Homo-oligomer: A and B are copies of this chain.
């Protein structure tokens, strides 16, 4: 059965491997939730499947659990009321996680890849259910939840599996080594060697609220496919998407004859501090974390028994020097600020531009005029509440709201945030972004991440200062993304160089349907690992290579 899964998914695997090598366009999971793609009934059935969980006990068996927790409230204004087993006895959980590892190891890379992609198929079959679950935990609007939380997350997971497959198979299973005799006529030394991929141990995946699937699946599948057991510790506010994920994992593992506890759900009450307890366990040798800097830094420093992959926070930056299309630039930036109310680790925050203004096809635009241009783009994009909510989604927690409310006191309010009424969910908290004017002297404001719908327009002496501030801020505080607008090849080259120095990915002159906060699986790396915002990247060799080891045996042969 396991080799049947591998054969079934071989074509998809090969395509993912090829795309990861060429960095050309590929997607294995259609991002359009249209009935033309997924059928007339899929959306309704997925919504019904999601709603069927509400107020129910999720049927997840977590070894060592005691009692239940119910911790989720939709940013659209209602409690989910789903209960999950509360993970308590960490010894029991670790024991159960490890129990199936030997058989999982011995099954080999092909079997594990087959099972892993079959899990992705099962998740894909539930993509509308997942999209609803992501929407009502993260606050993403539905289409974004379907794409970022469903199709794109599946592509990122397949990408991780593809990288792990390449890495596991670059050493052959067996080889014959024959060393010639030192003198002619002597007998050569001839040995047969066997190379086996062995796992590191238990892998811990610590999920976040805003992208419970997209940010958790790459690490989960990279660790699982390389032979490790995976304990999934969701954020208490976004459990359901990962509970469904774990359910699909267990289902396929059991069908293929493996121990379903190779993947377990470790739900908690926020007061349980379960993540830190799990992270220091000696059995835990891999940790994937997405979230705030404080706990990410703590993990990097304290979980020294494990290899730790973190995606934390940073200060994403745009340098505006000049543009050939002012309106398109403003529209592009407005979309990037507005998408999911700026609650993305990739959303731009700091926009540096010369106080004297930037050259455009509409003449020189002062900082105030650039702000007004973006504000006008907001009006076009977000002027209608019913349309606005499909882009903005809901405010995910009170922290975002309070940062937004305090932002106005920190500088000049160029564009104020507007309260939007959600036609379907009147209790949802929906806001448009605000744009705040600062100067280069306001470092104590703009050198801190203000996660949410707050953008700073920061005036500088000139573009050289903008680039310099970009570089120093990212080196010190990190960034997931950067962008530049300039019609000067020289400025773009200078910015490219500064981005290499700062270790951050750069988008140049985005004027159309690509946005700085979006990355495409198989082609764009998400995070670099080269600045303080993240110590890893989706997905490069370093993301998968240390998730397993190779153990060899050798013997003489004739």
Q: Residues of A with Cβ closer than 8 Å to B?
A: 21-25, 32, 102, 105, 167, 170-172, 175-180, 182, 189, 191, 193-196, 198, 200, 300-301, 304, 496, 499-501, 503-514, 520, 523-525, 528-530, 537, 540-542, 545-546, 549-556
Identical chains bound together, number = 2
| Chain B residues with CB under 8 A of A23 | 171-172, 175, 177, 193, 195
Residue of B with least CB distance to A530: B549
| Chain B residues with CB under 8 A of A499 | 551, 553
| Chain B residues with CB under 8 A of A25 | 177-180
| Chain B residues with CB under 8 A of A198 | 500, 503, 528, 530
| Chain B residues with CB under 8 A of A496 | 194, 553
A556 & B512 in contact (Cβ 8 Å cutoff): yes
CA–CA, A22 to B169, complex, Å? Answer: 11
Q: A22-B172, A177-B523 are in contact. Are A512 and B193 (CB under 8 A)?
A: no
B500 & A524 in contact (Cβ 8 Å cutoff): no
A152 to chain B, nearest CB (A): 12
CA–CA, A465 to B501, complex, Å? Answer: 56
A170 & B549 in contact (Cβ 8 Å cutoff): no
| Chain B residues with CB under 8 A of A523 | 175, 177, 193
Q: A193-B523, A304-B301 are in contact. Are A175 and B549 (CB under 8 A)?
A: no
Q: A22-B175, A23-B177, A25-B180 are in contact. Are A514 and B545 (CB under 8 A)?
A: no
Cβ-defined partner of A549 (8 Å) among B176, B195, B507, B529: B529
| Chain B residues with CB under 8 A of A179 | 25, 520
| Chain B residues with CB under 8 A of A514 | 189, 191, 554, 556
| Chain B residues with CB under 8 A of A189 | 512-514
A558 to chain B, nearest CB (A): 11
| Chain B residues with CB under 8 A of A550 | 525, 528, 537, 540
CA–CA, A550 to B542, complex, Å? Answer: 10
28 CB-based A-B contacts, threshold 8 Å = A21-B170, A23-B171, A23-B177, A23-B195, A24-B175, A24-B176, A24-B177, A24-B178, A25-B178, A25-B180, A167-B541, A171-B540, A189-B513, A191-B514, A194-B496, A198-B500, A198-B528, A304-B304, A500-B551, A505-B552, A506-B553, A508-B555, A511-B556, A524-B554, A529-B546, A542-B545, A545-B545, A546-B546
